[in-house]
Chains A and B, each alone.
Chain A
Amino acid sequence: MSVNKLSTEESYKTLNKIETDLLRPMTHHKGLELWILFLVLFFIIGGYAYFIQLRDGLGVTAMRDYTSWGMYIGNFVFFVAASLIGMFISSVLGLLKIKWITPITRIAEMIALAFAMWAGIVIVIDMGRPDRLLNVFLHGRFQSPILWDVTVVSTYVAISFLLLFLPLIPDAAVIRRRLPGLPKWQMKIYDLLYLGWEARPGQYLIIKKSMRILAILIIPVALAIHTVTSWLFASTLRAGWDTAIFGPYFVSGAFVAGVAAVIIAMYFFRYNYKLGDYITDFHFNRMGQVLVLVSAIYIYFNLNEYFVPAYKMRIAEKVHLVEMFTGHWSTLFWFTQIICLVIPAFLLIFKKMRRPSIMLWLSVLVLLGAWLKRFLIVVPVQQHPYLPIQNVPDSFHHYIPTGIEITLTILPIVGVLLIITIIAKLFPVISVWEVAHEKGVDESIIK
């Protein structure tokens, strides 16, 4: 892979520095306990909220006959969207042989795995009777996007898992050598994972070939996971969901959310884990450009998604669109579209704006917008069915999420942070051996 190989002596020196830098956060982590405590505390609160929902049923949410898919489903779509980034960075960019992604692929895959895992759990939270989950497998219909969704989400979790842990095999060997003083249970994980890694050419061959196969395999699966998610909506006749571009519209939106999430994580790891030598301004600059690119594509899809029906204004579409453009949802809609998408994408065109500190805030806006957008896709449409339901209480016509609902929407987000925190505690967030290769370190000494 590397162009200019280092001499043996230089190799050892460079590798030593890389190992020291990248493994340091695993043993030096000020405030980590506090952070985990905070997350666990929230888990307890969320757990209690879930207990109430289990005990009293979904009536504790604001979901009623009209809006029967609320915040939970919006959250689910957001989670699936964010999880697509693993495929985008390590697979699409990786297969295009784009070199600079090496130090951020693992961050992207951590985010992908965490979001994909929790996406499945979010669906269970949306079920009043989670014990009936099994029925999806026992009585699921092959014709229904629901069965495909469950199948493809679990498949994607499995691939993401492999794609994250495969490159950890050489790193596990490095950890065993460098940090023998770690707790016993932790060492057990590395013992299991390193598979007797000795940096032999045959071993490298297997790792690289396997990663390549997975990188190709994950593309159709990732496209499937978000396309199927979009079909949950697009396979209905509801005005606002009944559109042909929902698949690519969702996928392009997913990349926007994912890239923003990765930029936030990059920023966090760069400063907290002191990885400035690896995640450089150059990487931010490049990710800023990527964000502009994916946002531009997404804006283009938005134009199609809203302008085409708005030009024709068929009755049912009109009711929905007017509510979005100038009616009840207009503030949220324009905030999401303009402040959280168009403006950040526009600003990032300028090199001056593609600095880590500015990009952090722009990415936070974009990610917030990505969440709100899913809410706007899921909820408003349901308030204008073709045949209005008769004699329902007035409250059924509106949807204002309850406290329990909000808590149980935040819970999975906290869960994602917890998973990322744990992975980042147990493993280096940047791939040691891949960075070393890039720097020209002799392959055979990385063990």
Chain B
Amino acid sequence: MMKSNSKVLIAIYFLLSATVVMGQATEPWVVPAAKKSVKNPVAVSTSVIEKGKSLYMANCKSCHGDPGKGNGLPLVPKPTDPASDKYQAQTDGEMFYKMQNGRGAMPKFAEVIPDNDKWAIIHFVRTFSKKKNSADAGKIMPDTLPAGSSFTSTSLNGKPITLKLKFNEPDSTLIATVSTLNEDGDLLPVEGVPVGFFLKRYFGSLPVGEEIGRTDKDGRIEVAVPRNLPGDTSGLLHFIARVTDPEVYGIAMDSIGASCGKPLVIVNITEERTLWGRSRVAPLYIIITFFGALAAVWGTMGYVVSNVLKIAQKDV
């Protein structure tokens, strides 16, 4: 059901933006030189490529088609086939920038897909490249997001940076704490780090809170979680917090599951009594009419027959 929702969204998005884009001449999509040379920081591995593939299938395929098959949507300009030479001629930085910002019918994925996941998509797309250029890739892991896990990575001033995410049940707030290790191995809070909070949805992530804030002197930042967010059947929601300026502060993120959502009540419409349902769930009035009419007609016929058989009796 979720799946078809996202398809509807894509369709609406596509219709709206297609009307805007139609008729516009395609200008080359220029990416600033600094962004162009950004290297893919995520380490390449089979699991990363798998991750990228599933993200591509869920978020990109609807427009760009299956890589190498040229079966993308006939938009203007046409979403480039990722396996094409034109697409592969882009640097990783260019691809990232275009996904980040979007243009015309190409959606903006900046907040929708976590950065590391975007890099995973690029790794996947690169598997269709004729020359292998993953040698440049960095060493970190993408946001594979098993609930409750966090990781530490490239650092602030050479020191590793850590982000811990907690959920405070009573006042429904998410609290992130950013810290770094000193030489003695003690945790020190880091002030002024921009942290974004996101709610994991089927199609990308939803920002929590109005704007991205910065950690206070205790390395803390908190954001209120609206109550009544729709969750899964048990009301479970998955939140992510991450440092939103990794180039300055390094990459750090954490995720947490919290049962603070409104439990999703799955109404199984095939169990309701409907005209289009199975026989077992036929509307009662139809069943009553059917058997009522049948009983009335056959009952009358039975009455007539039993009467007629009386003709044979001597006393009539």
User: Which residues of A does B touch, CB under 8 Å?
Assistant: 139-143, 147-148, 151, 155, 158-159, 162, 166, 169, 195-197, 200, 202-203, 206-207, 209-210, 213-214, 217, 220-221, 224
A202 to B303, CA, bound (A): 17
For residue B37, which residues in chain A have a CB less than 8 angstroms away from its CB?
none
B271 → chain A, closest Cβ, in Å?
Answer: 15
Q: Which residue of B lies closest to A211 (CB)?
A: B304
State whether the Cβ of B228 lies closer than 8 Å to any Cβ in chain A: no
For residue A159, which residues in chain B have a CB less than 8 angstroms away from its CB?
297, 301
Q: Which residue of A lies closest to B277 (CB)?
A: A143
User: Top 4 closest A-B pairs, CB basis?
Assistant: A202-B316, A142-B282, A141-B279, A195-B312
A200 to B310, CA, bound (A): 12
A195 to B310, CA, bound (A): 9
For residue B293, which residues in chain A have a CB less than 8 angstroms away from its CB?
224
State whether the Cβ of B33 lies closer than 8 Å to any Cβ in chain A: no
Q: Assess A162 versus B290: contact at CB under 8 Å? Given A143-B275, A195-B312.
A: no
State whether the Cβ of B300 lies closer than 8 Å to any Cβ in chain A: yes
CB <8 Å contact, A196 and B286: no
Return the CB mask of B283-316 against A: 1 if under 8 Å, else 0: 1001100100110011011011101111110111
B122 → chain A, closest Cβ, in Å?
Answer: 36
A206 to B297, CA, bound (A): 19
B316 → chain A, closest Cβ, in Å?
Answer: 4
- Pick the contact of B276 from A140, A143, A224 — CB < 8 Å? A143
CB <8 Å contact, A162 and B287: no
For residue A221, which residues in chain B have a CB less than 8 angstroms away from its CB?
297
A195 to B293, CA, bound (A): 30
CB <8 Å contact, B304 and A213: yes
Interface size class of B (residues with CB under 8 A): 20 to 34
State whether the Cβ of B139 lies closer than 8 Å to any Cβ in chain A: no
CB <8 Å contact, B279 and A155: no
CB <8 Å contact, B308 and A166: yes
For residue B311, which residues in chain A have a CB less than 8 angstroms away from its CB?
169, 195-197, 203, 206-207
For residue B283, which residues in chain A have a CB less than 8 angstroms away from its CB?
143
CB <8 Å contact, A140 and B307: no
Q: Assess A210 versus B282: contact at CB under 8 Å? Given A143-B277, A158-B301.
A: no
Q: What are 5 A-B pairs with beta-carbon distances under 8 A?
A: A195-B308, A195-B309, A206-B307, A206-B311, A221-B297
For residue A195, which residues in chain B have a CB less than 8 angstroms away from its CB?
308-309, 311-312
- Pick the contact of A155 from B298, B305, B307, B315 — CB < 8 Å? B298
A221 to B287, CA, bound (A): 18
State whether the Cβ of B278 lies closer than 8 Å to any Cβ in chain A: yes
Q: Which residue of A lies closest to B273 (CB)?
A: A143
A142 to B316, CA, bound (A): 43
Q: Assess A203 versus B316: contact at CB under 8 Å? Given A142-B279, A142-B282.
A: yes
A140 to B287, CA, bound (A): 12
CB <8 Å contact, B316 and A214: no
A284 to B273, CA, bound (A): 53
- Pick the contact of A142 from B290, B303, B304 — CB < 8 Å? B290
**Residue from B293, B309, B315 with most neighbouring chain A CB atoms (10 Å):** B293
Q: Which residue of B lies closest to A148 (CB)?
A: B290
Interface residues in B123-139 by Cβ distance below 8 A to A read: none
A195 to B313, CA, bound (A): 9
- Pick the contact of B286 from A139, A142, A158, A209 — CB < 8 Å? A142
For residue B309, which residues in chain A have a CB less than 8 angstroms away from its CB?
195
Interface residues in B244-283 by Cβ distance below 8 A to A read: 275-279, 282-283
SS class, residues of chain B in contact with chain A: helix
Q: Assess A151 versus B294: contact at CB under 8 Å? Given A142-B287, A162-B305, A217-B301.
A: yes
A238 to B304, CA, bound (A): 42
Q: Assess A141 versus B278: contact at CB under 8 Å? Given A155-B294, A162-B304.
A: yes
A155 to B276, CA, bound (A): 25
A220 to B292, CA, bound (A): 14
**Residue from B282, B303, B304, B312 with most neighbouring chain A CB atoms (10 Å):** B304
Q: Assess A139 versus B316: contact at CB under 8 Å? Given A158-B301, A162-B305.
A: no
For residue B307, which residues in chain A have a CB less than 8 angstroms away from its CB?
206, 209-210
With A141-B278, A210-B307, A224-B293 given, name 9 new contacts (CB 8 A). Answer: A143-B276, A143-B283, A169-B308, A195-B311, A196-B311, A203-B311, A206-B316, A217-B301, A220-B297
For residue B308, which residues in chain A have a CB less than 8 angstroms away from its CB?
166, 169, 195, 206-207, 210
Q: Which residue of B lies closest to A169 (CB)?
A: B311
- Pick the contact of A200 from B275, B297, B316 — CB < 8 Å? B316
For residue A155, which residues in chain B have a CB less than 8 angstroms away from its CB?
294, 297-298
A166 to B305, CA, bound (A): 9
A217 to B305, CA, bound (A): 13
CB <8 Å contact, B312 and A217: no
A207 → chain B, closest Cβ, in Å?
Answer: 7
For residue B316, which residues in chain A have a CB less than 8 angstroms away from its CB?
200, 202-203, 206
For residue B300, which residues in chain A have a CB less than 8 angstroms away from its CB?
213, 217
CB <8 Å contact, B304 and A143: no
For residue B290, which residues in chain A have a CB less than 8 angstroms away from its CB?
142, 147-148, 151
A360 to B298, CA, bound (A): 38
B248 → chain A, closest Cβ, in Å?
Answer: 54
For residue A140, which residues in chain B have a CB less than 8 angstroms away from its CB?
279
A143 to B285, CA, bound (A): 10
For residue B278, which residues in chain A have a CB less than 8 angstroms away from its CB?
141
For residue B312, which residues in chain A have a CB less than 8 angstroms away from its CB?
195-196
A213 to B308, CA, bound (A): 12
A207 to B282, CA, bound (A): 40
A203 to B311, CA, bound (A): 5
For residue B303, which residues in chain A have a CB less than 8 angstroms away from its CB?
213
**Residue from B287, B297, B303, B312 with most neighbouring chain A CB atoms (10 Å):** B297
A42 to B305, CA, bound (A): 36
For residue B282, which residues in chain A have a CB less than 8 angstroms away from its CB?
141-143
CB <8 Å contact, B301 and A162: yes
Q: Which residue of A lies closest to B289 (CB)?
A: A142
For residue B297, which residues in chain A have a CB less than 8 angstroms away from its CB?
155, 159, 217, 220-221
A200 to B279, CA, bound (A): 50
For residue A209, which residues in chain B have a CB less than 8 angstroms away from its CB?
307
A163 → chain B, closest Cβ, in Å?
Answer: 10
B83 → chain A, closest Cβ, in Å?
Answer: 26
CB <8 Å contact, A214 and B275: no
B29 → chain A, closest Cβ, in Å?
Answer: 35
**Residue from B294, B314, B316 with most neighbouring chain A CB atoms (10 Å):** B316
B276 → chain A, closest Cβ, in Å?
Answer: 7
Q: Assess A206 versus B310: contact at CB under 8 Å? Given A143-B275, A143-B286, A200-B316.
A: yes
A155 to B286, CA, bound (A): 18
Q: Which residue of B lies closest to A214 (CB)?
A: B304
B94 → chain A, closest Cβ, in Å?
Answer: 38
For residue A139, which residues in chain B have a CB less than 8 angstroms away from its CB?
279
A203 to B315, CA, bound (A): 10
A210 to B277, CA, bound (A): 41
For residue B279, which residues in chain A have a CB less than 8 angstroms away from its CB?
139-143
